[in-house]
Homo-oligomer: A and B are copies of this chain.
Amino acid sequence: MFNDFKLADDRPVYIQLKEYLKKMIMNGHLLEQQKLPSTRELSTLLGISRNTVLTAYADLEQEGLIYAVKGKGNFIGKVETSKTPYIKLNWKEKVNEDALLADELDLMKHGVRWKKGMISFNSIAPDEKLFDVENFKRAFLTRMSIEGDIVLNYGYAKGYKPLIDYLLHYMEIKGVDISNKDILITNGFTEGLDILLSSLAKKSGRILCENPTHHSALKLFRLHGYDIHGIEMKEDGIDVCQLEKSLSKTDYDFAYLIPSYHNPTGIVTSSEKRIEIMKLFSGYHIPIVEDGFNEELRYSGSHLAPLLAFSGRGNNVIYISSFSKILFPGMRVGWILADKDLIHSLESIKRARTIHTSTLDQAVLYQYLHDGYFEKYLKKAKSVYKKKYELALHACNQYIPFKKMTGDGGLHLFIELENGMNARTLLKKCYQKGVVFSPGDVFYTNGGGSNTIRLGFSRLQEDDIVHGIRIIGDTLKNEMEVKQ
Contacts and interface: CB of A to CB of B under 8 A. Distances in A.
A390 interface: no
Interface string A355-377: 11111110010000011100100
Contact of A88 (B105, B314, B352): B314
A98 B198 contact: yes
Given A12-B375, A358-B358, A82 B201 contact: no
A187 B354 contact: yes
A82 to B, nearest CB: 3
B331 A152 contact: yes
A199 B86 contact: no
A153 B126 contact: yes
Given A89-B339, A95-B200, A361-B360, A109 B149 contact: no
A4 interface: no
Contacts of A200: 94-96, 99
A42 interface: no
Interface string A220-252: 100100000000000000000000000000000
B356 A89 contact: no
B153 A136 contact: no
Interface string A381-425: 000000000000000000000000000000000000000000000
Given A314-B86, A339-B89, A12 B99 contact: no
A430 interface: no
Contacts of A89: 285, 287, 315-316, 339
Interface string A312-351: 1111100000000000111110000011011011111101
A36 interface: no
Contacts of A144: 133, 136-137
A93 to B, nearest CB: 8
Given A96-B202, A332-B354, A349-B102, A86 B311 contact: yes
A141 B187 CA distance: 23
B133 A149 contact: yes
Interface footprint category on A: 35 or more
Interface stretch (A59-67, A438-446, A461-469, A471-479): A59-67
A157 interface: yes
Contact of A152 (B93, B128, B148, B190): B128
Given A187-B357, A191-B354, 10 more contacts: A64-B300, A84-B311, A84-B312, A86-B313, A95-B342, A106-B347, A128-B153, A131-B149, A136-B152, A332-B355
25 contacts: A64-B298, A77-B303, A80-B274, A80-B305, A83-B275, A86-B314, A87-B285, A89-B339, A95-B342, A95-B345, A98-B199, A99-B198, A99-B200, A99-B349, A108-B351, A128-B152, A152-B329, A153-B329, A187-B358, A190-B353, A190-B354, A191-B354, A216-B355, A223-B352, A330-B360
